[in-house]
Amino acid sequence: MADKIKIDVVSDIVCPWCAVGYKRLEQAIKEMGIEDKIELEWQPFELNPHMPVEGQDVEEHITEKYGSTREQQKESQERLTEFGAELGFTFDYFKGMRMVNTFDAHVLLEYAHQQGKQTELKMRLMNAFFGERKDVSKKEVLETELETIGLNATEAFKFIEDNTVRNKVKDTEKYWHSLGVNSVPTVVFNRKSAVTGAQPVTVFKEVLTQLLNEDA
């Protein structure tokens, strides 16, 4: 097959269901043995574009934004932790955990894309936030994670300070919003069809099988 299946994953770094959804998609691709037939790109989506520098307590934030009670949040976190464990992803929810601004991280993901390491950086940042209690809005954290996957932090931060690049990322966010993407994860196939939410592995397999059959 000459052409690859293009997959765009519209998501945010601090979105737990995005982590679960991607790990399920990854599992489907691996189990089908079609890694060489997939071209995957992460697309920016900020759940909280107006989040201030100091961030906000997660419990307070979820209550304020979604009206969830403390008990509902605890149940959701326990379920996510179980799903994560099944997929090899660690959720470490803790008292005082803070929701943070992710725009700079999204700009760095554009840099990582140009370097062929976008998925590596995305997963490193998700693991740092959800599993290692790190604030992924802080420069020193971002520098460490860049270096961990072998990227040049000095070069990356010159990139992040470029207003042309920052505006490009904002425009990309607006583009996906204009197409009706208002919740994440949204997984787009060949820019023609999409599924939203952390779908089961079986659903991703069905979609991928259908696309492979259409191309055959």
pLDDT digits (tens, 9 = 90+) for 151-205: 999 999 999 999 999 999 999 999 999 999 999 999 999 999 999 999 999 999 9
Q: Tell me, what amino acid is at 32?
A: M
Q: Return all residues near 141 (Cβ < 8 A) that are at least 6 apart.
A: 128, 134, 135
Q: CA dist 115 to 105, 110, 112, 141, 189, Å?
A: 15, 9, 5, 19, 23
For 44-81, write each residue's pLDDT tens digit.
999 999 999 999 999 999 999 999 999 999 999 999 99
- pLDDT for res 2: 54
- pLDDT for res 216: 75
- Of 13, 16, 27, give the one whose Cα is nearest residue 81: 16
Compute the average pLDDT of residues 27-36: 98
| Packing angle, helices 201-215 and 16-32, rounded to 10 | 50
CATH fold for domain 5-51+101-211 = Glutaredoxin (3.40.30)
Listed by start position, the domains of the chain span 5-51+101-211
* Alpha-carbon span 40 to 73, nearest angstrom: 31
- pLDDT for res 1: 45
